């Protein structure tokens, strides 16, 4: 191939060798296929909260007793090594190039292709303005942009304020903590009327923020809301 034709291919990031973040294989993509297969074995998850459940059990006891304000909840992986490491790099170390590899995991997770196909809007969980200013980017938006969905919107769901970490708080305290943290502008309610929404977050911990965002979307008229998380932490204590 003539050099001028070869040069653009060489300078495309996809052509650069890189090291697998997990097993350190070199050259590899940022997540090599072996590690991806090894650490993403699907487990049965509760359709209400995405926590692991025994095979054949669609909903956990907690979701049966107290149904969450979302119609479905999906997660690709447990929030455990090596994903804690990869997500920390994406969130806190400016490794925004990892978004494509992590979004590919998400796009292949059970239920996610169907949820994306049925969603009118894909909404990344917004960060509070002060958080966005501090970090410079929203990891959930980076993931959303890499997913196979044409209608990613950042204007429909607004974050009014940052909420402190929820873990360790009682259910009532978590609910109080996030009350009013999200809003939909009246001018945007029409776009949500009767619509299916996929709400995307990088890590789902207690679900309190996703639930509060879902309540704001529901009040604005959204009909079906599916929460999708890249990683799910274990049950809150």
Give the residues lining the site for Zn ion (CB under 5 A).
20, 22-23, 25, 32, 35, 46, 48-49, 60, 63
Minimum CB separation of residue 31 from Zn ion in Å reads 7
Pair 88, 82: CB distance under 8 Å: no
Among residues 9 and 80, whose Cβ is nearest to Zn ion? 80
Among residues 138 and 233, whose Cβ is nearest to Zn ion? 233
Among residues 63 and 125, whose Cβ is nearest to Zn ion? 63
Record the tokens describing residue 162, joined without a space.
């940052």
What is the helix (H) or strand (E) element at residue 143, kind and residue range?
Answer: helix 139-146
Minimum CB separation of residue 35 from Zn ion in Å reads 3
Among residues 75 and 192, whose Cβ is nearest to Zn ion? 75
Gap between the Cα atoms of 169 and 70, Å rounded:
21
Among residues 22 and 127, whose Cβ is nearest to Zn ion? 22
Secondary structure (H, E, C), 27-74: CECCCCHHHHHHHCCCCCECCCCCCECCCCCCCCHHHHHCCCCCCEEE
Minimum CB separation of residue 21 from Zn ion in Å reads 7
Minimum CB separation of residue 61 from Zn ion in Å reads 8
Task: Identify which of 107, 125, 103 has the alpha carbon closest to the alpha carbon of residue 116.
Answer: 107
Contacts of 12 (CB under 8 A, 6+ apart): none
Pair 178, 208: CB distance under 8 Å: yes
Pair 204, 125: CB distance under 8 Å: no
Minimum CB separation of residue 44 from Zn ion in Å reads 11
């Amino acid at each position: 191939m003539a050099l001028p034709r070869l040069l653009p291919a060489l300078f495309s990031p996809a052509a650069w060798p890189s090291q697998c973040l997990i097993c350190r294989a070199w050259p590899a993509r940022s997540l090599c296929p072996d590690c991806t297969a090894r650490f993403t074995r699907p487990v049965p998850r509760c359709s209400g909260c995405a926590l692991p459940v025994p095979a054949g059990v669609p909903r956990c006891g907690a979701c049966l007793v107290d149904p969450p304000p979302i119609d479905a909840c999906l997660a690709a992986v447990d929030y455990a090594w090596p994903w804690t490491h990869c997500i920390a790099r994406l969130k806190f170390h400016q490794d925004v190039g990892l978004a494509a590899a992590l979004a590919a995991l998400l796009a292949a997770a059970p239920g996610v292709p169907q949820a994306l196909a049925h969603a009118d809007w894909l909404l990344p969980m917004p960060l509070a303005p002060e958080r966005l200013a501090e970090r410079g980017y929203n990891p959930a938006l980076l993931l959303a942009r890499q997913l196979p969905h044409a209608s990613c919107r950042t204007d429909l769901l607004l974050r009014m304020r940052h909420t402190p970490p929820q873990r360790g708080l009682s259910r009532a305290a978590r609910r109080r903590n996030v009350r009013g943290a999200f809003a939909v502008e009246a001018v945007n309610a029409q776009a949500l009327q009767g619509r299916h929404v996929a709400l995307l977050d990088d890590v789902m911990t207690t679900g309190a923020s996703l639930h509060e965002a879902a309540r704001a979307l529901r009040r604005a008229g959204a009909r079906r809301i599916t929460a999708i998380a890249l990683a799910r932490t274990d049950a809150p204590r």
